[in-house]
Amino acid sequence: MISASEFRNGITIELNGSVCEIVEFQHVKPGKGSPFVRTKLKDIINGGVTETTYRPTEKFPQARVDKKEYQYLYKDGDLYTFMDTENYDQIALGDDIVGDNMKFVKENDMVKVNSYNGKPFAIEPPMFVELEITDTEPGFKGNTATGATKPAIVETGAQVAVPLFVNQGDRIKIDTRTGEYLSRA
């Protein structure tokens, strides 16, 4: 059990039959009245976000979310297949679980599969990936306005905004959380 006074970002708790992650919290001690904890909770199964307040003494059961490394093998229709590199077990996850997280992941890349009570509910791609540009328009000399970008397609099929000096065939580093270009690789 964890009390509301012990809340920290990233902690997962069980609340009303669902599993919630603490996204944001604030301990408030008003001049008059009793203190309280203002929290923003994200339901990790369906993605809904709620804001609520609790007394610091309220207790909640802490949820155990397992994160395990898996290797992405291939996509077959709307199923993505992953392999546990320790015991070679394979699991297939659908688009509803994988979502948009696979747009920067190539075959054989490692991802983290998040599960609760043995049931996978989400994947986490690596924070940064290096991918090759497969299609982009060439940059033109003199077209160098500050911060100018152009669209580019990477080898996984995702579109990224890149600076004008980046050309087809270049390898670039991408932040998978935001989908932004970071640098040439």
Backbone angles phi, psi at 136, to 5 degrees: -165, 155
As a whole number of angstroms, the distance between CA 133 and CA 165 comes to: 12
Please indicate, yes or no, whether residues 55 and 71 belong to a single structural domain of this protein: no
Instruction: Indicate whether 69 and 120 sit together in one domain.
Output: yes
The end-to-end CA distance of the chain, in Å, is 46
Q: Do 132 and 117 lie in a common domain?
A: no
Give the residue from 32, 31, 14 showing the smallest Cα distance to 22. 14
Last residue of a domain, one of 124, 147, 169: 124
Q: Are residues 115 and 141 in the same domain?
A: no
Q: Do 69 and 112 share a domain, yes or no?
A: yes
Residue span of the structural domain in which 156 resides: 128-184
The CATH number given to whatever domain includes residue 96 is 2.40.50.140
Q: State pLDDT tens for residues 109-154.
A: 899 988 888 888 888 888 888 888 888 887 665 555 567 788 889 8
- Where does the pLDDT of residue 83 fall: very low under 50, low under 70, confident under 90, or very high at 90 and above? very high
Same domain? 16 vs 43: yes
Q: Radius of gyration of the chain from Cα atoms? A: 21
Our count of domains for the chain comes to 3
Q: How many CB atoms lie within 10 A of CB 23?
A: 14
Residue 71's pLDDT band, with cuts at 50, 70 and 90, is very high
Q: Which of 118, 8, 4, 103 is nearest to 61 (CA)?
A: 4
Note whether 113 and 70 are same-domain residues: yes
**Do residues 70 and 52 both lie within one domain?**
no
Q: What is the CATH number of the domain that holds 36?
A: 2.30.30.30
55 and 96 co-located in one domain: no
